[in-house]
Structure 1
Amino acid sequence: MLILLPPSEGKAVPRRGQPLDLAALSSPALTGARRTVLDALVELCRDDPAKAAEVLGLSAGQADLVDRNAELPDAPTARADRIYTGVLYDALDVATLSTAAKRRATSRVAVASSLFGMVRLGDRIPSYRLSGDVSLPGLGPVAAVWREALSAVMADALGRGLLVDLRSGMYASFWRPGPELARRVATVRVLHEHDGTRKVVSHFNKATKGRIVRALLEDGADPRTPAALAAALERLGWRVEVGPPGRSGTQLDVVVGEL
């Protein structure tokens, strides 16, 4: 099973740690694309900070994020599970997982990244700012870079297991599984139901996804089909509705009534 998460917009900033080593990251086939995006981002932030703030969608009060990007090659790194923060990662809370669940997290969880394409929780990365909808001067949309690069590595990363896709729409555009993988792809959506009406509530959607991943890791379940994943989630206490199979997989709706 491969659980694919979105990154967080905000990130922790390590005070110490070895500098970034692209060659040491998982999925080494992505090293060339990672270098290309990194160089374009660093050059922009180093040579034209005002333009960088505009391109990255930053306010005047976020100039420190431009400076941080400009120093990425020499910036201290930490494990990705310590860099990514926010509602989903707070709910997942890797640091407090059991020893066995931490081992599963290392092998079963990956994070979509605008800068690195995909990283594992144990990969050492610096704090950076680059959203998935950014188009870098001289390079173009980062999503287009990753659509090309990820298509060659995701099947290997998935192996023979089930893909549990928890990415947001922006990061789902980086790579979409083809029909040949559809029977092994489950896209999970969280819906809040109140007075007969269902909708996605952003904060609660993220928190519930974090709790789902945590529960799966602690439980040790390794479902191989969307239906088996739905059964595992129901056993763990969630109400799940399984959609019809599609060309890109099967959608599972986790319906919750309490915020």
Structure 2
Amino acid sequence: MIVLLSPSKTQNFQDQPPLEDQSEPLFREEAREIMLHLQSFSPRDLARLMKMSDRLAGETAEKHRHWTAEETPRLQAIYAYTGEAYRSLDVPSLSRAELLHAQNHLRVLSGLYGLLRPLDAIRPYRLEMAAPLGPGGTKNLYHYWREKITALLTQERSPFVNLASLEYSRVITPEDLPGRFVTPLFKEDRGSSCSVVAVHAKRARGRMARWIITDRPERVEDLQSFCADGYRYRSDLSEPDQPVFVRTAPG
């Protein structure tokens, strides 16, 4: 079983754990090509490209300018990302055996790096997959990455549990993958309706990713037993490749 996650915009390279177990990104040459393209963008260009403030665009341009420098910090992706899903994944509490299991069963989709394993060492960057950037003469990052990522995933273990956001998962062509491509949904029951609340769904994806790493379910049907944070499987709302988990909306 392979779990797919989105990266997070927020990253922390300051409190670095020892780089004992680490690997190199599989698409590091492609990442370098994209970064060289990004380095030609001024802060104002970056602000328009990624719809960010002038302050954040200046900080991002500075990160990118130093990206290839030897002294630029590197950190395993699973530690570097600090968004909601990764807080729920609670990486510091995973054992080394669980981290090594995650290395074989968890993949992070990235606008810069394409596809990352948890222990791949990365450098600070900011680039959303949906950013209108076309490196190497391509139309956009989806066009740049789709065949590369899909081809690599065809070599992985199926089924695939897609816990990535739509922005990232749409880079994959599921029909070209071996085995099933399953996308769990996490909803809040507000009495009259059930709906997806983005921030809670991100946390739930992280919790499920952690559960898969620690409990190691083998079949898609085994996902139905996931019950963290009050979520329960709802067969009446689910489809074979889209299991739905619902919890009562927090008061």
Q: Which TM class, normalised by the smaller chain length?
A: 0.7 to 0.9
C-alpha RMSD over aligned residues: 2.6
**1:134–1:60 distance in 2 versus 1, CA, 3 Å:** same
TM-score, normalised by the number of residues in structure 2 = 0.85
Cα gap change, 1:125 to 1:179, in 2 (>3 Å): closer
Instruction: Write out per-residue CA displacement over residues 74-120 of structure 1, whole angstroms, 9 at most, x where no aligned residue.
Output: 22110111110121111111111234322222221111100000101
Q: Is the CA contact 1:79–1:121 (under 8 Å) kept in the aligned structure 2?
A: yes
Q: Aligned partners of 1:142 and 1:105: how far apart in 2?
A: 26
- What is the rounded CA distance, in whole Å, between the counterparts of 1:95 and 1:239 in structure 2? 26
Ranges in structure 1 where 5+ consecutive residues have no aligned partner: 18-23
Q: 8 Å contact 1:40–1:136 — kept in the other structure?
A: no
Q: Distance in 2 between matches of 1:244 and 1:199?
A: 16
Q: Which structure has the highest helix share of the two?
A: 1
**Structure 2 spans left out of the alignment, 5+ residues:** 18-22
Task: State the SS of the aligned residue for 1:229.
Answer: helix
- Cα separation, 2, equivalents of 1:104 and 1:257: 32
Q: Which residue identity is paired with 2:79?
A: R
Shift of 1:238: 4.1
The residue identity in structure 1 corresponding to 2:8 is S
> What is the DSSP-based 3-state SS (H/G/I as helix, E as strand, rest coil) of the residue aligned with 2:3?
strand
Structure with greater strand percent: 1
Structure 1 residue 235: Cα displacement:
10
1:190 alignment partner, SS class: strand
- 1:43 deviates by 2.8
For 1:201 and 1:251, the matched residues in 2 are separated by 17
1:111-166, Cα deviation, whole Å (9 max, x unpaired): 1100000101100001111111112266442122111321221111x23x321100
1:215 maps to what in 2? 211
What displacement does 1:9 show? 1.3
The structural deviation recorded for 1:174 is: 1.2
Question: CA separation in 1, counterparts of 2:7 and 2:122?
Answer: 12
Give the AA of the match of 2:148.
A
Contact 1:37 1:142 survives alignment (8 Å): no
The CA distance in 1 between the partners of 2:127 and 2:227, in whole Å, is 36
CA distance in 2, matches of 1:254, 1:143: 29
1:25 Cα offset (Å): 2.3
* Superposition pairs of residues 1-259 of structure 1, within 5 angstroms: 1-14=1-14, 25-26=24-25, 28=26, 30-44=27-41, 48-62=42-56, 63-74=58-69, 75-136=72-133, 139=137, 140-156=139-155, 158-159=156-157, 161-178=158-175, 181=178, 183-219=179-215, 221-224=216-219, 226-230=220-224, 232-233=225-226, 238-241=231-234, 243-245=238-240, 250-259=241-250
- Deviation at 1:188? 1.2
The superposition leaves residues 210-240 of structure 1 with CA deviations (integer Å, 9 ceiling, x where unpaired) of 1122222222x2323x22322x426997411
Q: Between Structure 1 and Structure 2, how many residues are aligned?
A: 239
**Shift of residue 190, structure 1, vs aligned partner:** 0.6
1:20 equivalent in structure 2: none
TM-score of the two chains, using structure 1 as the length reference: 0.82
